[in-house]
Amino acid sequence: LFSWKHAAPRPGMSSSQAAAIAANSAEGGRGFRRGGSRDEDGEPGGSRQVAELMQLTTDESAFILGKGGKTKHKIAKVSGAQLELHEHNNTIEIVGTDAERHRARKYIDLVKAQRIGPVNVDERHDDGDLTILIVPNTCVGFVTGTQGNFLRACEEEWGTLMFFCDYHGPTGEGGAAEKLAIFGGIRGRTGAELKVMAAIETKLPGHFTKSLPDEQTCETEWGRDSISLTNEELSFALGKDGSTRKKLAKASGCILEYVGNTAFMAGPTATRRRGREYLGWLLRQRVGTVYVDIEGRDDVCAVDIPGGMDAVASVFKSMTLRTLEQETGTFCFLEGNASKSDRLLIFSHDKKGREKAKSLAEERINNKIQAQEDSYWGAQGWGDSWNGQGGSWDYEYGQGYQGQQGYQQGYQKGYQKHQGQHYHDESKAVDTSEVTDTFSLRGDISVHVVIQTGPDGQEPVIEEVERATGTKLTVMREKGTIHISGPADKVSLAKRQLQSFIDRFVTCRIQLPPPITAALANKVSHYIRPMPWVASAEVDEAKDTLKIQGHQDSVDQTFKVLREVYKDHGLELNDADIITTKKAEDHHHTHSSHFHQARIAGKPGSADIIRVSEEEAAFILGRGGKTKHKIARVSGAILELHERSNIVEIFGEEVERKKARKYIDLIRAQRVGPVNVDETHDDGDLTMIYVPQSCVGFVTGSQGNFLRTCEEEWGTLMFFCDFYSPDSHHGTKSNTKQERLAIFGELEGRYGAELKVMAAIETKMPGHFTGQLGDTHSTDEWGTDTIPLSTDQLSYALGKRGSTRKKLARASRCIVEYVGSVAFLAGSLQARRRGREYLGWLCDQVCSKSGRISVDAETRNDVTLVPVRKDCIGYVMGDKRKTLSRLEEDWSVLIFFVDVPEYPPDVEGLAIFGEERGRCGAELKVMGAVETKVPLYFTKDVADRHVRTEWGVDTQPLTNDELSFALGKDGATRRKLARASCCILEYVGNIAYMAGSFDERCRARDYLSWLLGQRHGPVTVKLEGRTDIIVVEIPPPMRGMVKAAMLRDVERETGTFCFFQGDHSTTSQLLVCGAEVEDRTHAQHLLQDYLVRGVSRPSKAQHAAPAPRSKKQQAKSWGRKGGYYGGKQRGAPETSEEESEKPQPRRRSPGGGVPPPRRRRQDYASSDSESASHSDSESDDSQSDDDEDRPQRRSRPPPRDPRSSRDANRPPPTTAGKPPPPRRQWASEGSGSGSDEEIVPYWQGGGSKI
């Protein structure tokens, strides 16, 4: 067979075979056929499979094969022939019918021609498989895509062969535009053509659809229909990533593509008719219900829904139907009202797909009915969840408890269930007394709504609540209240149900077109106002607005009346004209996060509600919720996206909500095409920057990463848009050679993002912004200064990865950005002045040999001078200045040594520039470093001092034991107190320095005294007048669950300080201390969750010691550590009591033997008070200074590196006859930073941390 395929005359061949081979060679290797069957006339069989060979060059062979064989497979797919490429002799075998082989040869010739230049295509290449599409020159790159990806994707999707060519039609006319040739079957060519048309329409809106009618129907068997869509309809019909469009196309069997705002449907007549119907039904679902007459249709299956089944909409919610459609290739929806529908309609041209979808739907219905029957009685016993009104939730039993008594009952019951005890709720038999309570309606809701029949025929709320709760409700019209009589638990249930009904009332404001204002006023009087559950409806003819207050279901019904009025006047009601508002405080119970509730409660005003489509909801949410958080950050509002109901709720001030609505509308517009931005969008939060077209991709970055980084850094919203300036004429763009980049946000953020983009453009096009720019100095209160820099100055002022530039910006509080070789300083006048001085000092150091400057600290209010002895300079700076750089980053300051003539010769002046708080924190850090090196250098005569000024520094001396206890392992306790009090707390030697405002220093002093008081016994705090403490009541049976380790976890996560009031064995009050109310509330709810759910940290037994080691391993440990394992070295600073009491692993004695194991401590089994006291657990609170910015450390330490362990644990060098010097340990770890780990003596380099 190989000889036959790769033929050459060989011995043994027949004469006819040899003659055929010779004839093939004479024809240039073009016409050899295998299995050459012929018909009666001797011509090749037209429908028979015949093989032929084509001879290629080596380069042609590689080009036709393509990357991974893709080009060869593409030719085979389009032509229908089978191709086999033999690279060893550069031949390609083509197997197929005459027509298939003819097409394959033609396509191979065209692909070969692409190697050497433009491909010439004319009418001779058209065998009924060619479509030519004219592409404007400005869109060629957009249609081609990166490395031709867009065309390749079209070829893959539609089975076509596509390339640009020099096409000359029958008239021989070329033209300025490019010609795109599309080869393939008629269906594939049509689909690929519409795909390219959609891409061109995105780049040039109106290019294909400008003159199209609203609806066009083709009369031929194969053709195209078109329907014009509005922006909202297009967004709804497109779906997320085009999923809805693909669904309709697959179900109908036609080609469906959206070119601009026009839907094109291509295919046979029957498929186009189905596509139009499916699309029409889909769009009608946006505004109302859909009913279909299925009699006589062959593309539908109906699934009947039993009348007794509850929650039909929940059974077939949108996500369930979308999954069903995706699995079966169908189009499904509930007929009529989704909540009360009696059948599910399944449409598709494929009968198998319909049958499969019907089977899956019936299975789901049967499962729901079975679940209803099985869980009926169990469902009756479940109560409501946490109601946010001082009650608690029993997670074990699923019952709600009210007030303080319920709090105790819920905790005790959950605890006893957790312990495996059976709990008998005796309170049920006790709380049966009849009570009367009052429920007050909101001021904007009239009483008549609670006695009206619902819009869908529901019973009045009064009757429904009475029947469900067994209580008696009496309406007091004059007072606007409802009296409720019955058992106490039933009355509480009735109040919750009434509150749930009231929470659904909203206020809807609609901006009306002036022509229909008068007509709507009549409709409102006669139709809308009398509707059930509508509290009020008024038309303001002066402002052309309609205001409706009522239940959400009723407000939805009013929209039907409004749309009819709009339709009668030839208008359409846009969602952008509707603003729905609800009371912010009524929304708290819907949020699961108590911490988030506090944030919403802190936002005054109301809540706006925006209804969006499912695809828009996904687009607004963004990947990982980033887009939603970005909109919230820029607008200042709080956004809640409810994906089930596709509703966005906006909380905040009126200005914040207005900005959020605007940004959401702009984000929604990005889904369907270019965003149009004009001067009406500028509310003082818009900056436009023009970007040259050659820099658009560079500014955007890979997958938009550069713009996203700018948004994240500066808190802005950025996107390219079609901006129309006020002087633009007839909607033409103000500058067609540049793209417009819109930047929304606050002034400082917009300035920073704009300079960032300018720097990127300047990198791509040097001199674009700075060609004629010199040294400028603005006198405006807010403005921009520029300073040209030399190459050396720019490199020095930039720093490694821009670190020096960022340092200057943080210290001066102005925006610093280098655009080319020009430094831009933006901000207030004072901030720019500081930035100019700081930058000048840095640039002066480039030319100064000593690198020192002189600063007059007496005349400046932004500098602090710290005297540093010369023998401590290396210790303070650290290896390669890493320590000072870390201090600059932590405290947002600028630090360098300066010449101070007043200082002694052995002292240098360290200047710290920046804001007062940052300077104070960095100063105390440096003082702690020098004090460690030179004891009593700063604290020799420092006593207990309490300053009464608003800003100041207090001091409090500590003993060695108190210092060790207040420091904690790796400074964890100090950081905790500093964070909880919002005060700067540093230990310089044995002196505690507290810096900040008067209130902050008082809190820090109190917290420190309470902490130290716990060393000697219980601490009792006077709670009267204190606003920084929350008392959490712990039921007696659950005190044992409040472990010290649990409290340390809560403190770390929330930034609070927690301990028991008085003796732990008798008290039930746990104090949560902190300056921020959000932190205290967060800690309170974490503690409640820990207790109710029975969640506790692993016991100490679970953190067992390592497995017994061999003698060889022990010897290695002894040699590596230089002492017994875990032992305390001579000269080391005193450890806290909790560290000394930790159980130690077995140790090796100095004599070389292994001592007997230590006696197990008896106090492990002591009372819970000892396990929960501070003195027992501060060591568990240990984290390194860097850990606050890192993920939670695992309980099991990572494997040790022998080299790092050896270096870190080796004792300092000793001299003969002298004990080793004390190990240097910092007493001034940074508040929330890791600065101290970088402060190392210069002789140790950067490898060993203190």
- pLDDT tens, residue by residue, 6-47: 444 444 444 444 444 444 444 444 444 444 444 434 444 456
More confident position, 608 or 1007: 1007
Task: Assess whether pLDDT exceeds 90 at residue 993.
Answer: yes
Task: Assess whether pLDDT exceeds 90 at residue 324.
Answer: no
- The confidence score (pLDDT) of residue 310 equals 56
Which band of pLDDT confidence, cut at 50, 70 and 90, is reported for residue 865? very high
- The DSSP letter of residue 119 is P
Task: Assess whether pLDDT exceeds 90 at residue 976.
Answer: yes
CA distance 250 to 743: 40
Q: Which residue from 251, 339, 244, 348 is spatially nearest to 302, judged by alpha carbons?
A: 348
Q: Which residue from 548, 673, 536 is spatially nearest to 609, judged by alpha carbons?
A: 548
Task: Assess whether pLDDT exceeds 80 at residue 108.
Answer: yes
SS3 content of the chain, % helix, strand, coil (to 5): 45, 20, 35
Chain centroid offset of residue 531 CA: 42
CA distance 79 to 172: 27
Cβ atoms of 92 and 85 within 8 Å: the answer is: yes
CA dihedral 756, 761, 762, 765 (to 10 degrees): 170
Query: What's the sign of the alpha-carbon dihedral 299, 303, 304, 305?
Result: negative
Tokens of 1073: 């201390």
**Residue 504, helix vs strand vs coil:** coil
More confident position, 851 or 63: 63
Query: Mean pLDDT over all residues of the chain?
Result: 76
- The confidence score (pLDDT) of residue 404 equals 41
- The confidence score (pLDDT) of residue 927 equals 94
pLDDT tens for 419-474 read: 444 333 433 343 456 778 888 776 667 777 777 777 776 778 888 888 888 888 88
More confident position, 792 or 1227: 792
- The DSSP letter of residue 25 is H
Which of the listed ranges 575-584, 956-965, 1106-1115, 1241-1250 does the model predict with the highest average pLDDT?
Answer: 956-965
**Residue 868, helix vs strand vs coil:** strand
CA distance 681 to 1191: 41
Separation in Å, CA 267 to CA 194, 258, 847? 12, 15, 77
- Interacting residues of 669 by C-beta distance below 8 A, sequence separation 6+: 231, 675, 676
Residue matched to tokens 């003539």: 901
- The confidence score (pLDDT) of residue 169 equals 53
CA atoms within 13 A on the CB side of 296: 1
Cβ atoms of 1018 and 1039 within 8 Å: the answer is: no
- The confidence score (pLDDT) of residue 1087 equals 87
Strands (E), 331-370: 331-334, 343-347
pLDDT tens for 483-508 read: 888 887 788 788 888 888 887 888 88
CA distance 123 to 131: 11
- Interacting residues of 986 by C-beta distance below 8 A, sequence separation 6+: 921, 924, 925, 927, 928, 974, 992, 993, 995, 1228, 1231
CA distance 64 to 81: 15
Backbone φ, ψ for residue 990 (5° rounding):
-105, 20
Backbone φ, ψ for residue 617 (5° rounding):
-60, -45
Edge-to-edge strands of the sheet including 782-788? 782-788, 822-828, 815-819
- Beta bridge partners of residue 167, listed in sequence order: 121
Indicate the pTM of the whole model: 0.50
How many percent of the chain have pLDDT more than 70? 72
- The confidence score (pLDDT) of residue 443 equals 64
Window from 6-10, 287-291, 742-746, 764-768 with minimum mean pLDDT: 6-10
Separation in Å, CA 596 to CA 249, 316, 643, 790, 1002? 43, 31, 18, 51, 29
- The confidence score (pLDDT) of residue 606 equals 67
CA distance 1044 to 1047: 5
716 by Cβ neighbours in 10 Å (0-12 / 13-18 / 19+) ranks as buried
Beta strands 1069-1073 and 1057-1060 are antiparallel
Cβ atoms of 965 and 1137 within 8 Å: the answer is: yes
Strands (E), 715-780: 717-724, 738-744
Separation in Å, CA 659 to CA 602, 707, 742, 744, 821? 19, 20, 15, 10, 36
Cβ atoms of 1146 and 1157 within 8 Å: the answer is: yes
Cβ atoms of 796 and 845 within 8 Å: the answer is: yes
CA atoms within 13 A on the CB side of 505: 24
Separation in Å, CA 75 to CA 81, 184, 969? 8, 10, 71
Residue matched to tokens 């109710």: 1092
Which band of pLDDT confidence, cut at 50, 70 and 90, is reported for residue 247? very high
Amino acid at 1209: N
Task: Assess whether pLDDT exceeds 60 at residue 409.
Answer: no
More confident position, 1248 or 574: 574
Cβ atoms of 1012 and 962 within 8 Å: the answer is: yes
Tokens of 24: 């093939």
Amino acid at 925: K
Which band of pLDDT confidence, cut at 50, 70 and 90, is reported for residue 50? confident
Amino acid at 318: S
CA distance 807 to 814: 11
CA distance 488 to 979: 44
- Length of the chain in terms of residues written: 1250
pLDDT (average), residues 823-842: 91
pLDDT tens for 684-740 read: 999 999 999 889 989 998 888 899 999 999 999 999 987 554 444 433 344 457 889
End-to-end CA distance of the chain: 79
Residue matched to tokens 């040790």: 1200
Tokens of 199: 């891409």
- Neighbour count for residue 377 (Cβ, 10 Å): 8
CA dihedral 1046, 1048, 1052, 1056 (to 10 degrees): 100
- Interacting residues of 145 by C-beta distance below 8 A, sequence separation 6+: 151, 152, 153
Task: Assess whether pLDDT exceeds 90 at residue 190.
Answer: yes
- Interacting residues of 366 by C-beta distance below 8 A, sequence separation 6+: none
Residue matched to tokens 């953190």: 1103
Cβ atoms of 106 and 127 within 8 Å: the answer is: yes
CA distance 996 to 985: 9
pLDDT (average), residues 1030-1034: 90
Separation in Å, CA 920 to CA 122, 865, 891, 924? 81, 11, 9, 6
- The confidence score (pLDDT) of residue 15 equals 47
**Residue 1022, helix vs strand vs coil:** coil
Helices 231-238 and 614-621 cross at an angle (nearest 10°) of 80
Residue matched to tokens 């010097």: 1221
Backbone φ, ψ for residue 896 (5° rounding):
-160, 160
CA distance 682 to 751: 15
How many percent of the chain have pLDDT more than 90? 29
Q: Which residue from 1179, 1114, 1112, 1120 is spatially nearest to 1147, judged by alpha carbons?
A: 1114
pLDDT (average), residues 868-877: 90
Backbone φ, ψ for residue 865 (5° rounding):
-100, 130
More confident position, 1234 or 259: 259
Cβ atoms of 1122 and 1210 within 8 Å: the answer is: yes
Query: What's the sign of the alpha-carbon dihedral 469, 472, 476, 479?
Result: negative
- The confidence score (pLDDT) of residue 373 equals 64
- Interacting residues of 931 by C-beta distance below 8 A, sequence separation 6+: 937, 938, 939, 988, 989, 1227, 1228
Q: Which residue from 331, 335, 322, 334 is spatially nearest to 349, judged by alpha carbons?
A: 331
- The confidence score (pLDDT) of residue 381 equals 40
CA distance 155 to 1184: 57
- The confidence score (pLDDT) of residue 670 equals 86
